[in-house]
Copies of this chain bind each other. A is one copy, B any other.
Amino acid sequence: MSERRCHRTHSHMESGTDTESDSETMRCLSCKDEYGTRDAGTCKECYEEASETKEELKREIEDLKAKVAFLRFWSPLDHHHYHHLLHFNNNHQYHQNGNINRSSSGPYFTDVVLLAASDDGPIGSPVPVPAHKAVLVNRSPVFKAMLENEMEESRSGTIKISDVSYDALRTFVNYLYTAEACLDEQMACDLLVLAEKYQVKHLKAYCEKFLVSKLNWDNSVMSFAFAHQHNAKNLLETALSLITDNMDKLTKREDYMELVEKDPRLVVEIYEAYLSKQVNTAAAHRDSSMKL
Q: When each residue 125-142 of chain A gets 1 if its CB lies under 8 Å from chain B and 0 otherwise, what string results?
A: 000000011110111000
Find out whether the CB atom of B39 lies under 8 angstroms from the CB atom of A43.
yes
Find out whether the CB atom of A35 lies under 8 angstroms from the CB atom of B43.
yes
CB distance from A191 to the nearest CB of B (A): 14
- A66-89, CB < 8 A from B: 66-74
Tell me the dominant secondary structure on chain A's binding face. helix
- Of A16-24, A181-189, A213-221, A259-267, the one touching chain B: A16-24
- Of A44-52, A91-99, A268-276, A283-291, the one touching chain B: A44-52
Pick the contact of A41: B33, B47, B110 (CB < 8 A).
Answer: B47
Interface size counted on chain A using CB atoms at 8 A: 65
CB distance from A146 to the nearest CB of B (A): 12
- Of A55-63, A166-174, A243-251, the one touching chain B: A55-63
Pick the contact of A58: B30, B42, B57, B109 (CB < 8 A).
Answer: B57
CB distance from A242 to the nearest CB of B (A): 23
Q: Of A71, A72, A111, A133, which is in contact with the most chain B CB atoms at under 10 Å from its CB?
A: A71
